[in-house]
Amino acid sequence: MHYEFEEVLETLSMVALDHFDIRTVTLGISLRDCIDGDLSAMERKVTRKIRGLAKNLVRTVDQVSEELGIPVANRRISITPLAFLLDGAPKQGPARLAKVIDSLAEELGVDYVGGYSALVQKGMTPGERRFIEAFPEVMSTTERLCGSVNLASTRSGINMDAVKLMGETIQAMAQATASRDGIGCAKLVVFANAPEDNPFMAGAFHGMGEGDSAVSVGISGPGVIRHVLSLYPDLTIDDLADLIKRTAFKLTRAGELVLRDVAERLGAPRGIVDISLAPTPARGDSVANILEEMGLERCGAPGSTAALALLNDAVKRGGAMASTHVGGLSGAFIPVAEDTGMADAVRAGALDLGKLEAMTAVCSVGLDMVVVPGDTPPESLSGIIADEAAIGIVNNKTTAVRIIPAPGKGPGDSVEFGGLLGSGPVMAVTPFSCKKFIHRGGRFPAPLRGLTN
Amino acid sequence: MGADRPGILAGVTRVLADNEVNIVDITQKVVDGLFLSLIVADCSGSDAVVSSVRQQLERTADSQGLKALVQQERLFRFMHRV
């Protein structure tokens, strides 16, 4: 087969210059067959199951990456939401099992395990409440374990009791990891309409409708899109959308190829390709910079929501054709701390929490890696969660909140997390309270949109 | 790719020949003194593993002040052909 010089150069420069990589290969593992009333027996079963299925994960991904010549940033595991296994366990159950899984992740060399998760969108069992209350202990005593709580869905509405509990839990997690600026909160995401096959952290889990195992891939590539747009500065909006779509197709095809090769070698079923543009702190590998390349002086300026909607839709269109099974979150992430362009926009005063919330209505997830003052009341955190959940259930989309009330920090300060988590400016939260609204408790009815039968 | 000078291709093709890798196609361009060469090579008759050939190519290129990038042909087929 003959290749044009430009085609080859394009692929090479995506990797060499524009930070393109496969962000993650995530092996989903069902732990449903590990449930046991005896906690020690359950720990042994979980260890045997994960070790058995994932022992070759890292080596296989490394081989595929090496042979294809395309970098893979992370190797991860997602598991059945652990709250399901631990519902009848004693009080110390969550922390004990979490530690077992965390050390297993280290032994296997995987970067993260996702699935310290609970699905409580309609109600919460006493076991699930204990599980959620253990978050501060679990996230301050483990390194590689990530967790999530789905507390709303278009079909069931919003569990407002869980919303209140999560505001308190996030504050407690920040306090438990105060010496590291509340970094524990970076390992927890609160969802509405959580996808059950998402390979990205912190929200990955292996859903209840999944099989025994599945390999999924999350792509990356904001730097590539930004670079391509910079080559064609005068396109109309139509042509801009088309260019993004074509580029997203190519990025997703690379992900699809990695997925096929890894799944075949592991002997595991193919899951999905998540076609998300996942930014990194590297200069230029930024979704905010893409929006600025489209013609905004700074991300957060009027037009930002429209530009993001255009980007998100074009990415989906290109990606959907490139992979047989597209899933997960699939779109454009707009984290603040992980995206240098977003953080710069906040520091410049161009982007505030209100505009960011508006943008979450059209991005692929929600408020992500947002750092707020450490003295933000738990009820205000709950209010922010409720707002995101409402956007999610009403618009039938996934929304999420990953928020860090950094202890001792206030607006204008900055927090350094390091690595892929980057650094985040502390964003101001309105001092006006929603305490009474949050303390009402109960269940927010499902929107009419949920009645689709 | 890198600054153009005599002997670039000789060094690269020697690595391929030493590893019994067959060259299928070579395209070359020099733009403003920047040398760019695209080599399509078939490793199926070679006992060497891709990672070893890649390392040798990178070392050879590096010693000449060049950059060598090696990617599998399937990647281009997947990304550029519908």
pLDDT digits (tens, 9 = 90+) for A405-425: 999 999 999 999 988 888 999
The whole-number average pLDDT for the span A368-372 is 98
The pLDDT assigned to A56 comes to 97
pLDDT at A149: 98
CA–CA dist A45, A55 (Å, integer): 15
pLDDT in tens, A230-255: 999 999 999 999 999 999 999 999 99
> Does A3 touch chain B if contact means CB atoms closer than 8 Å?
yes
Instruction: Specify which of A329-333, A352-356, B25-29 reaches the highest per-range mean pLDDT.
Output: A352-356
Q: Could you tell me if A127 and A415 are in contact, meaning their C-beta atoms sit under 8 angstroms apart?
A: no
Q: Which residues 6+ apart lie within 8 Å of A292 measured at CB?
A: A298, A299, A341
- Give the CATH class of A1-447: alpha beta
**Residue from A408, A453, A452, A412 nearest A177 by CA:** A408
* Cβ-contact A149, A84 below 8 angstroms: no
Q: What is the Cα–Cα distance from B28 to B36, expressed in whole angstroms?
A: 6
Report long-range pairs for A440-445 (Cβ below 8 Å, ≥24 apart).
A440/A160, A441/A160, A441/A161, A441/A164, A442/A160, A442/A161, A443/A122, A443/A123, A443/A157, A443/A158, A443/A159, A443/A160, A443/A161, A444/A152, A444/A157, A444/A158, A444/A159, A444/A160, A444/A386, A444/A389, A444/A390, A445/A157
CA proximity to A394, closest of A152, A71, A63, A103: A152
Region A132-151: mean pLDDT is 97
Count of residues in chain B: 82
> Would you state the pLDDT for residue B6?
84
A448 touches chain B (CB under 8 A): no
Determine contact: B81 vs chain A, CB below 8 A. yes
Closest by CA position to A419, among listed A149, A117, A142, A112: A112
CA distances from A61 to A203, A205, B9, B34 (A): 21, 20, 32, 34
DSSP assignment letter at A184: G
Domain boundaries, chain A: 1-447
Banded pLDDT at B4 (limits 50, 70, 90): confident
Q: Which of A288-302, A314-328, A398-412, B31-45 has the lowest mean pLDDT?
A: B31-45
CB A348 within 8 A of CB A338: no
- Mean pLDDT (chain B) is 88
Interface test with A, best of B24, B26, B71 (most A CBs within 10 A): B71
Place of tokens 């909140």: A401
Q: How far is the C-alpha of A449 from the C-alpha of A155, rounded, in Å?
A: 8
Looking at residue A222, its pLDDT comes to 93
User: Quick check: helix, strand or coil at residue B77?
Assistant: helix
How far apart (Å, rounded) are the C-alpha atoms in residues A88 and A86?
Answer: 6
Q: Is A17 on the interface with B (CB under 8 A)?
A: no
What pLDDT does residue A249 have?
A: 95
Burial B21-53 (b: 16+ CB within 10 A, else e): beeeeeeeeeeeeebbbbbbbebeebebebeeb
Can you tell me whether residue A125 is helix, strand or coil? coil
CA dist., res. B75 & res. A21, Å (int): 13
Strand-strand pairing, A188-192 and B2-3: unpaired
Tell me the β-bridge partners of A26: A76, A216
Q: How many other C-beta atoms are found inside a 10 Å radius of the C-beta of residue A59?
A: 12
Question: Is residue A14's pLDDT more than 90?
Answer: no
Interchain contact, B80 vs A69, CB within 8 Å: no
Check pLDDT > 80 for residue A179. Answer: yes
Question: What pLDDT band is residue B32 in, cutting at 50, 70 and 90?
Answer: confident
Cβ–Cβ contact B28 with A under 8 A: no
DSSP A241-253: HHHHHHHHHHHHH
User: Chain A 20-79, CB below 8 Å of chain B: which residues?
Assistant: 66-70
The Cα B46–Cα B18 span in angstroms is 10
Domains along chain B with CATH numbers: 2-80 (3.30.70.260)
* CA-based nearest residue in chain A for residue B26: A5
Residues of chain B found within 8 Å of residue A7, distances taken between Cβ atoms: 76, 79-80
